[in-house]
């Protein structure tokens, strides 16, 4: 009997020791990504009470967070934030890229079907993302008890941050004026999503890409996900990934600091203030960890810069493709030797080159020369031989980190600083280059175990996932190359 008592005491001690070894974690992680938000927007606007002011006052600000790859576009940015790595490892080479010789979107999945939409609603999934995310690592660390939901107007902005095994990802389908999902996640919309679509039919019928209502609907959906999925109420840490997409789409059309864009940011400030109140009341300020960042920045419109005597320029990539193919045809007598252009990259047409029995390296050299002809272009680079180019090492590194063989274009275009892909007659802004305008992004952490403060030391987009995982004492995503912001 005495021996049994001693054994029981030992067992209780072991249980207590194991319990004490379990790391403390917040109830909820909230990731908030604002599409095409320049870092300086944090300080350019006069914010109201409770929104960005609260983040700036109560959060920890990283004022020198840089994107370490090119091209700086939406799908890559969202993937890199949540995986802690770059296209070279996570495989999302752009918003669109080549996959098995076919032009696909970053989340295209023809093996799945759309759910909650109409005949035009296509199946989507995160399968093109080949590394794990913060949410996936939470699943692994908690025995798959953690739950994640992704919300955005853009499909890629909802799908890629939510990882491979969320309980749901929902995005706006303008063809049916509804938030939808895919059979990758479920066969039928949850009742709360269907009810949301019915309740807000009038608002969802608006052109959400260019008006503040797009922001309102995004946060309203996020709040319903928080409540109806009981996020932050379980035994394991949950995650809610929110992306604000209309800030980007409106900027593309109207330009940075246009009245239309300013109105969306003013509404965003109000929505953040309300959402923080909801989190404080439902979860508790000390029980959730929130981070705010952006998938990329944005270059000011050509006319805005030129009107003030500042250097700028536009480069029309579709016209560049046509012009380069015409030069190549004159030299080789073969049409369409360049197959496609996507986001500052060009793909050679291997089928045509092989059929005409041309020397690939010779065509490549000629193509780079042709694409480098416009004065707006500083370099056209054969990525396979990038080390032979006399370009700054920092630029070489960013091109390498942004290149995934078989998906990325073989030729990368580097415009002159300040030049972006577009037309001079456009009123909008753009992004995608290595420049500070496009690669310098905001980063703020607030809430659980965060002491207010700031740093001006160099930090990286890939540090976001590393920081969150370090704070939670979980393994970083399997392709992560970032390091924690905090000691």
* Span 338-392, pLDDT tens digits: 999 999 999 999 999 999 999 999 999 999 999 999 999 999 999 999 999 999 9
H or E segment to which residue 87 belongs = helix 87-90
Q: Which long-range contacts does 254-262 make (Cβ < 8 Å, 24+ apart)?
A: 254/210, 254/427, 254/428, 255/300, 255/301, 255/304, 255/427, 255/428, 255/429, 256/38, 256/298, 256/300, 256/301, 256/304, 256/429, 257/44, 257/300, 257/304, 258/427, 260/210, 260/211, 262/45
Residue that the structure tokens 């895919």 belong to? 182
Closest CA to 238 of 200, 193, 202, 290: 290
Q: Would you say residue 150 has pLDDT above 70?
A: yes
Token duo for residue 432: 């995608």
pLDDT of residue 5: 54
pLDDT, average across residues 182-189: 98
> What torsion do the CA atoms of 261, 264, 266, 269 make, to the nearest 10 degrees?
-130
Residues with active-site annotation = 74
pLDDT of residue 17: 40
Position 119 confidence tier, pLDDT thresholds 50, 70, 90: confident
Residue that the structure tokens 């032009």 belong to? 103
d(CA 242, CA 158): 7
d(CA 10, CA 454): 47
Q: Would you say residue 13 has pLDDT above 90?
A: no
pLDDT, average across residues 133-146: 98
Q: Would you say residue 7 has pLDDT above 70?
A: no
Q: Would you say residue 9 has pLDDT above 70?
A: no
pLDDT of residue 302: 93
Position 487 confidence tier, pLDDT thresholds 50, 70, 90: confident
How far are the Cα atoms of 345, 365, 382 from residue 387, in angstroms, in the given order? Answer: 18, 15, 10
Handedness of CA 253, 255, 257, 259 (dihedral sign): negative
Find out whether 429 and 300 touch, Cβ atoms under 8 Å: yes
Residue 198, judged by CB atoms within 10 A of its CB (0-12, 13-18, 19+), counts as: exposed
pLDDT of residue 331: 97
What is the per-residue burial (b if ≥16 Cβ within 10 Å, else e) of 161-197? bbbbbbbbbbbbbeebbbbbbbbbbeeebbeebeebb
pLDDT, average across residues 177-204: 98
Q: What's the pLDDT tens digit per position in 197-240?
A: 999 999 999 999 999 999 999 999 999 999 999 999 999 999 99
H or E segment to which residue 238 belongs = strand 238-244
Token duo for residue 147: 């739950």
Mean pLDDT score of the chain? 95
pLDDT of residue 15: 41
The answer for residues whose C-beta is within 8 angstroms of residue 159's C-beta and 6 or more apart is 107, 124, 125, 126, 150, 169, 171
Q: Would you say residue 455 has pLDDT above 90?
A: yes
- Per DSSP, 400 falls in state H
d(CA 75, CA 431): 13
Q: What's the pLDDT tens digit per position in 278-334?
A: 999 999 999 999 999 999 999 999 999 999 999 999 999 999 999 999 999 999 999
The answer for residues whose C-beta is within 8 angstroms of residue 56's C-beta and 6 or more apart is 42, 47, 444
Closest CA to 420 of 315, 345, 319: 315
d(CA 255, CA 430): 8
E strand residue ranges, 35-135: 60-62, 65-66, 96-99, 102-105, 108-115, 122-124
Query: What SS3 state is found at 421?
Result: strand
d(CA 446, CA 59): 4
d(CA 350, CA 338): 9
pLDDT of residue 2: 57
Q: Which pTM was predicted?
A: 0.94
pLDDT of residue 123: 93
Position 14 confidence tier, pLDDT thresholds 50, 70, 90: very low
């Amino acid at each position: 009997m005495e021996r049994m008592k001693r054994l029981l005491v030992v067992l209780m001690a072991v249980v207590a020791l194991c319990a004490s070894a379990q790391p403390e974690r917040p109830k909820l992680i909230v990731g908030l990504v604002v599409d095409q938000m320049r870092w300086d927007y944090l300080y350019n606007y006069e914010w109201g009470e409770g929104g960005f002011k609260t983040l700036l006052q109560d959060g920890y600000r990283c004022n020198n967070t840089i994107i370490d790859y090119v091209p700086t576009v939406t799908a890559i940015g969202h993937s890199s934030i949540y995986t802690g790595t770059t296209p070279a490892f996570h495989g999302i080479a752009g918003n669109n890229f080549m996959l098995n010789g076919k032009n696909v979107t970053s989340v295209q999945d023809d093996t799945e079907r759309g759910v909650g939409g109409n005949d035009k609603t296509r199946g989507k999934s995160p399968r093109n993302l080949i590394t794990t995310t913060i949410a996936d690592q939470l699943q692994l660390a908690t025995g798959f008890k953690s739950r994640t939901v992704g919300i955005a107007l853009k499909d890629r902005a909802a799908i890629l941050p939510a990882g491979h095994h969320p309980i749901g990802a929902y995005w706006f389908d303008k063809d049916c004026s509804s938030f939808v999902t895919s059979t990758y996640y479920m066969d039928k919309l949850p009742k709360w999503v269907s009810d949301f679509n019915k309740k807000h039919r009038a608002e969802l019928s608006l052109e959400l890409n260019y008006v503040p209502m797009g922001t309102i609907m995004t946060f309203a959906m996020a709040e319903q996900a928080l409540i109806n999925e009981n996020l932050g109420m379980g035994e394991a840490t949950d995650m809610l990934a929110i992306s604000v997409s209309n800030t980007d789409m409106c900027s593309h059309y109207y330009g940075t600091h246009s009245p239309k864009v300013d109105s969306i940011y003013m509404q965003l400030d109000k929505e953040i203030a309300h959402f923080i109140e909801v989190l404080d009341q439902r979860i508790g300020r000390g029980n959730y960890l929130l981070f705010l960042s952006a998938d990329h920045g944005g270059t000011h419109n050509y006319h805005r810069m030129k009107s003030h005597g500042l250097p700028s320029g536009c480069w029309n990539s579709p016209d560049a493709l046509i012009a380069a193919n015409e030069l190549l045809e004159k030299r080789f007598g073969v049409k369409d030797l360049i197959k496609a252009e996507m986001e500052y990259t060009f793909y050679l047409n291997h089928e045509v080159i092989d059929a005409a029995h041309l020397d690939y390296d010779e065509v490549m050299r000629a193509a780079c020369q042709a694409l480098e002809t416009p004065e707006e272009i500083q370099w056209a680079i054969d990525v396979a031989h990038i080390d032979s180019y006399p370009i700054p090492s920092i630029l070489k590194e960013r091109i390498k980190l942004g290149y995934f063989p078989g998906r990325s274009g073989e030729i990368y275009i580097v415009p002159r600083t300040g030049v972006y892909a577009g037309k001079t007659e456009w009123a909008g802004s753009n992004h995608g280059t290595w420049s500070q305008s496009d690669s310098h992004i905001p980063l703020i952490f607030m809430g659980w175990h965060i002491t207010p403060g700031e740093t001006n030391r160099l930090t990286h987009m890939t540090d976001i996932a590393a920081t969150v995982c370090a704070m939670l004492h979980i393994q970083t995503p399997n392709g992560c190359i970032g390091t924690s912001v905090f000691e």
